[in-house]
Amino acid sequence: MSTDSPPTELAQKPELATGDVSGGAPEPHDAVSVAPNWKLVWWRFQKHKLAMFAGYVLIAITIIAAFPGFFSTQNPVQSITKGSFMPPQGIQFWDNGPAFFTYEMEGKRNARSLRMEWVINEERRIPLRLFGEGYEWKFLGLFPTRLHLLAVVNPEVDAPINLLGTDRLGRDQWSRLVHGTQVSLSIGLFAVFLATVIGIFLGGLSGYYGGLTDMVIQRVVELLQSIPPIPIWLALSAALPRTWSVVTTYIAITSILALISWTGLAREVRGRFLVLREEDFVVAAKLAGCGQMRIVFRHMAPTMSSHIIAAVTLAIPVMIINETFLSFLGLGLRPPAISWGVMLQEAQNLQSVALAPWLLLPGVAVIITVLALNILGDGLRDAADPYH
């Protein structure tokens, strides 16, 4: 059942095929019969409300990851020595009427422990506004701007707000979290992209040609899958020179993650190929004289794509967690790079967690993102086979 060969008696009514896609329910019965594969998948996916919700959450996270400067309130790398371990500051919305402010935090250094101790000063209010001015950042890395989603009204007088508190060096956690989202999410995406390219290529070769090619590739896959990946990741990342720049390390870590994770996708692709190779429409295409490339890309690929998209979606959260592991253990990205794992490094021991539990908040970001990706992936996988 390829997309370009609908049953002939229904193909005479093409106007029904252009059913209302965005609106959801495929009402006329005939629309179902002539709809292309991706449309059937989409209709089925929409019925999965939880997966739709996860999709919206992921869109929001992606927007944040695309413009971290806009959503942050302070420069994420700027450290204020006097502002270490400040607890999260809440926003107040009500003060005998609608209001928008936060209370000032007053810090005193404890003479004994030399730690900063913070109390809320309810006497002084710091007015806030949406779309205010703050530190300068570059829109898409190109155009300098000072616009932020949330900012204090008088930046000259008032201290900036720390929505999620500050870390050991007095850096704003929220701004770091937002910037970390960009790094952690993109590393997951790039690593999966790389793994997918390798996986589809080798899995496709293996499944389409079979025979000796298949055997060699399958043995390599089995070998790689029988090696526990975590020690290898650790050893490889530890071998990266400390002198490398942030960008080089980023690329290296992405490649290391992808290098060992393509096997699952290769297996998935190969399995699909093996199933499809025997299908009637592939045999028909062959008899009709289609070239190999045309059979693979025009006839087989569209039927497989939904399965591959589902497998890829389920692979991203694994990558995100792995990057977090590596950076958390100090072998992945290193400061000054900001990722969720790098941030969680600050919470590595009991002392700092007991002192400043808000240092664990980046972990909550990891959980939410991974949860959403898993639910979305499961929804896609269920929808991937709309004829079932």
Partner 1 sequence: MFTYILKRLLILPLLMFVFSVVAFILIQAPPGDFVTSYVAELAASGSAMDQRQIEALRELYGLDQPAYIQYFKWVSRLLVGDMGFSLDFQKPISELIGQRLLLTVILGLATLLFTFAVALPIGIISATRQYSFFDYFFTVLNYIGIATPTFMTALILMWLAFSNFGITITGLFSPEFANAPWSFARVVDLSQHLWLPMVILGLDGTARLARILRANLLDELNKPYMEMARAKGMSEWALVIKYPVRLAINPLVSSLGWYLPLIFSGSLIVATVLNLPTIGPLLLRSLISQDMFLAGTIVLTYFGLAVIGTLLSDIFLAWLDPRIRMEAA
Q: Is the dihedral of CA 362, 184, 341, 179 positive or negative?
A: negative
Nearer to partner 1, 45 or 208 (CB): 45
154 with 53: CB under 8 angstroms? Answer: no
Q: Give the nearer residue to partner 1 in terms of CB position, either 197 or 238.
A: 238
φ and ψ at 348, to 5 degrees?
-75, -30
Measured from the CB atom, the residue of 234 and 301 that comes closer to partner 1 is 234
Closest CA to 225 of 272, 255, 270, 262: 262
Q: How far is the CB of 237 from partner 1 (least distance, A)?
A: 8
Structure tokens at 189: 């995406």
Residue 143 in tokens: 């155009």
Tokens of 331: 């072998």
State the nearest-atom distance from the C-beta of 303 to partner 1, in Å.
23
Distance, CA of 214 to CA of 224 (rounded, Å): 15
Q: How far is the CB of 247 from partner 1 (least distance, A)?
A: 19
Residue 38 or 325 with smaller CB distance to partner 1: 325
User: Could you tell me which residues come within 8 angstroms of residue 246 by beta carbon, excluding any fewer than 6 positions away?
Assistant: 333, 334, 336, 337
Residues lying near partner 1 in the complex (CB under 8 A) are found at 223, 225-232, 234-236, 238-239, 241, 317, 321, 324-325, 328-331, 344, 347-348, 350, 353-354, 357, 360, 363, 366-367, 370-371, 374-375
To partner 1, the closest distance from the beta carbon of 344 in angstroms equals 8
- Is the CB of 231 or the CB of 289 nearer to partner 1? 231
**Angle value at C-alpha 324, between 318 and 328, nearest 5 degrees:** 150
Minimum CB–partner distance for residue 201 and partner 1 (Å): 23
Provide the minimum distance between the beta carbon of 256 and partner 1 in the complex, in angstroms, as a whole number: 11
29: part of which helix (H) or strand (E)? Answer: helix 29-34
CA dist 2 and 298 (Å) reads: 9
Report the candidate in 380, 372, 385 with the shortest Cα–Cα distance to residue 55: 372
Q: Which is nearer to partner 1, 186 or 352 (CB)?
A: 352
Q: Exposed/middle/buried for 24, CB within 10 Å: 0-12, 13-18, 19+?
A: exposed
φ, ψ of residue 47 in degrees (nearest 5):
-70, -20
CB of 63 to partner 1, least distance (A): 21
Question: Toward partner 1, which CB reaches closer, 102 or 313?
Answer: 313
Nearer to partner 1, 80 or 360 (CB): 360
Between CA 176 and CA 365 the distance in angstroms is 12
Smallest distance from partner 1 to CB 371, Å? 4
| Shortest distance, position 227 Cβ to partner 1, whole Å | 6
Q: Which is nearer to partner 1, 65 or 326 (CB)?
A: 326
Residue 339 beta carbon to partner 1: minimum distance, rounded to whole angstroms: 13
**Would you call the peptide bond into 336 cis, given omega within 30 degrees of 0 as the criterion?**
yes
CB burial of 1-23 (b: ≥16 within 10 Å; e: otherwise) equals ebbeebeeeeeeeeebbebeeee
The whole-angstrom separation of Cα 251 and Cα 255 is 6
Spatial distance between the Cα atoms of 254 and 192, rounded to a whole number of angstroms: 9
Among residues 182, 179, 87, 167, the alpha carbon closest in space to that of 344 is found at 167
Nearest residue (CB) to partner 1, 249 versus 324? 324
